[in-house]
Chain A
Amino acid sequence: MKASLKIEAIGDNTYQYTKLWKGILNSGMPGLGDMVTEGISAPYWVAMIVGTDPKFGYSRQFLNAKKDYKKANSKGSRGVYLWYILESGYVYEVSSPSTWSRIDRYFCTVTDDGDIQRVDKDYVDQWIKDHSVSQLLKPPNEE
């Protein structure tokens, strides 16, 4: 079973500009864009936990979202929503800004009824221990 998760991409216009300039600068001088925009990254994302990582704690597979501008303001700074699809049998980490300065960060899974259920760090650690690497990775989509 799958579930959809909605988060607001607050400040999306700024991050899109940053991304654009990073690309332009990198195409002019490889590495320049990365250097200039270092440390600037969008605070909204959803990732599947696929193991542990010595540097980041967990290794993550970041999910692609569907973007909905229907309720966006004219700048695109508020009201832009990202819709993610999560699937039961996996553990996810969510970073969702609730205001300009506050970010709600949590782990979650999907129940068999398609509901999203928050879980704690201990659950995630245990879940990783209980699963082999091949079980943690999502198989490629079959068309």
Chain B
Amino acid sequence: MDKRPLGITTFEAAKRRIEYVFDTFPKIYLSFSGGKDSTVMLHLVMAEAIKRNKKIGVLFVDLEGQYKLTIDHIQTCYDMYAEYIEPYWVALPINLRNGVSQYQPQWCCWEHGYEDAWIRKPPEMAITDESYFPFYHYRMEFEEFVPAFGHWYGQGKLTACFVGIRTDESLNRWRTIASGNKQTIDGHQWTTWRGESLYNAYPIYDWKTKDLWVWQGRNPDKPYNKLYDRMYQAGLTLHQMRICQPYGDDQRKGLWLFHIIEPETWGKIVARVNGANQGALYAQEIGNILGVNTVSLPHGHTWQSFAMMLIDTLPPKHAEHYKDKIAVFLKWYQDRGYPGGIPDDGPLDKSAPSWKRICKALLRNDYWCKGLSFSQHKSEAYEKYTKLMKRRRQEWKLMI
């Protein structure tokens, strides 16, 4: 999709989009992370809310292991707009991806029984009561919680959720906006239907990183996250400065920064999050350590035997998890042109199957096996899935 200049500034365009959302949607909330994008968006949206004397919801999902500076900034913003927001500071046990440990591939923030090891205590205003949201269940996936919150918040009314993503950030985010398959409201490409009465709105999708800081520079009375000052002092470029939860598959590359910026928090994280230190040391390495870029075959192995050896090194529960995924992968190709099994060697992209690709997924600690074209499963259905897969693997005689 080509870029089409609108003949107005990105600031003016964002303002118009926000006005449209206020004119159109009876229920509005904003998804806030404390980062530079959602902070600028919060200030723009709140300006409109104050102008119209309308209260909007502000959702922040507190993931426990976050920079103190970010938490302080969020508190400042909540206090600043207290009169015009319905605050939802959520500090509930939620499952998060931990890309730096084979032993704890999912990490649960605010987990029961670990209260003494929690990196920090949730703030007083946080929602910690598990019965507060009727849709919530213990160790719910983050990806399930966010849309469920939107449906709950709307209470059946047409609802907009402001999301501060920008197409410049990544190809995935560009696709979120530019996708021709998604459904929108009134044909506005900067919105996405999330099912039922819920729509996401991306008012700053076309902003560049520089635009955000220019806006902050011109509005010195509006607070920004001081973590960015520290990142600047640490020598990061504007585009490297990102603050999402740092143990994810993509985010782990930034773990090295944590102990430089906030050593006091880092000490607690190492004690709490399995593999955090290992990730900080090795997440930027390429090769077999974490399967980044090329992977190489150890002497005396085929890719298949290497894969089986890697599976044998995993904790039994996670070995079974990978076996289920690999069995489905093998069966899929068995029925589609590879009756005798997939080749041992092959390209690392998704153009053809191979055991080499399986090895890469294992080395990368690719828990959801996205590299093998799987997607994340629903937490509630997982137990049923493992039982079903146990039976199927016997039937298929694969990965027994």
On whether the beta carbons of B26 and A85 are closer than 8 Å, the reply is no
On whether the beta carbons of A85 and B158 are closer than 8 Å, the reply is yes
Q: Does A42 contact B (CB under 8 A)?
A: no
Residues of chain A having any CB pair with chain B under 8 Å: 1-4, 6, 66, 68, 70, 83, 85, 113-115, 141, 143
Partner of A6, one of B186, B193, B196: B196
A86 → chain B, closest Cβ, in Å? 9
Residue of B nearest to A64 (CB): B183
Q: List 17 A-B contacts (CB under 8 A).
A: A1-B23, A1-B25, A2-B26, A2-B158, A2-B185, A3-B26, A3-B157, A4-B156, A6-B197, A66-B193, A83-B197, A85-B186, A114-B25, A114-B26, A141-B186, A143-B187, A143-B188
Contact with A along B266-309 (1 / 0, CB 8 A): 00000000000000000000000000000000000000000000
Q: Residues of B contacting A70 with CB < 8 Å?
A: 195
B55 → chain A, closest Cβ, in Å? 14
A1 to B28, CA, bound (A): 12
Contact with A along B178-201 (1 / 0, CB 8 A): 000001011111000101110000
Q: Residues of A contacting B23 with CB < 8 Å?
A: 1
On whether the beta carbons of A141 and B195 are closer than 8 Å, the reply is no
On whether the beta carbons of B157 and A4 are closer than 8 Å, the reply is yes
Query: Which 8 residue pairs across A and B have the least CB separation, nearest first?
Result: A114-B26, A4-B197, A4-B158, A141-B186, A2-B24, A141-B187, A66-B183, A2-B158
Which B16-38 residues have a C-beta within 8 angstroms of A? 23-27
Partner of A113, one of B26, B156, B186, B187: B26
Q: How many residues of B contact A (CB 8 A)?
A: 18
Q: Residues of B contacting A143 with CB < 8 Å?
A: 187-189
Q: Residues of B contacting A85 with CB < 8 Å?
A: 158, 185-186
Q: Residues of B contacting A1 with CB < 8 Å?
A: 23-26
Residue of A nearest to B158 (CB): A4
B164 → chain A, closest Cβ, in Å? 22
Q: Residues of A contacting B183 with CB < 8 Å?
A: 66
A94 → chain B, closest Cβ, in Å? 16
A77 → chain B, closest Cβ, in Å? 20
A113 to B156, CA, bound (A): 13
Q: Residues of B contacting A83 with CB < 8 Å?
A: 193, 196-197
Residue of B nearest to A70 (CB): B195
A115 to B155, CA, bound (A): 11
Residues of chain B having any CB pair with chain A under 8 Å: 23-27, 156-158, 183, 185-189, 193, 195-197
A29 to B233, CA, bound (A): 74
A29 to B183, CA, bound (A): 34
Known: A2-B185, A141-B186, A143-B187. 5 other contacts (CB 8 A): A4-B158, A68-B196, A83-B197, A113-B26, A143-B188
A6 to B188, CA, bound (A): 21
A4 → chain B, closest Cβ, in Å? 4
A1 to B157, CA, bound (A): 11
**Given known A-B contacts A141-B186, A143-B187, A143-B188, A68 and B195 have beta carbons under 8 A apart:** yes
Q: Residues of B contacting A3 with CB < 8 Å?
A: 26, 157-158
**Given known A-B contacts A1-B23, A66-B193, A70-B195, A114 and B185 have beta carbons under 8 A apart:** no
A41 to B315, CA, bound (A): 57
A70 to B193, CA, bound (A): 14
A70 to B186, CA, bound (A): 23
Q: Residues of A contacting B188 with CB < 8 Å?
A: 143
Q: Residues of B contacting A115 with CB < 8 Å?
A: 26, 157
A104 to B188, CA, bound (A): 32
A114 to B157, CA, bound (A): 7
A134 → chain B, closest Cβ, in Å? 20
Q: Name which of A70, A115, A141, A143 has the most chain B CB atoms within 10 A of its CB.
A: A143
B63 → chain A, closest Cβ, in Å? 27
Q: Residues of B contacting A114 with CB < 8 Å?
A: 25-27, 157-158
Q: Residues of A contacting B186 with CB < 8 Å?
A: 85, 141
Residue of A nearest to B157 (CB): A114
Residue of A nearest to B189 (CB): A143
B225 → chain A, closest Cβ, in Å? 34
A66 to B187, CA, bound (A): 13
On whether the beta carbons of B196 and A4 are closer than 8 Å, the reply is yes
B327 → chain A, closest Cβ, in Å? 24
A6 to B154, CA, bound (A): 14
Q: Name which of B26, B185, B187 has the most chain A CB atoms within 10 A of its CB.
A: B26
A67 → chain B, closest Cβ, in Å? 9
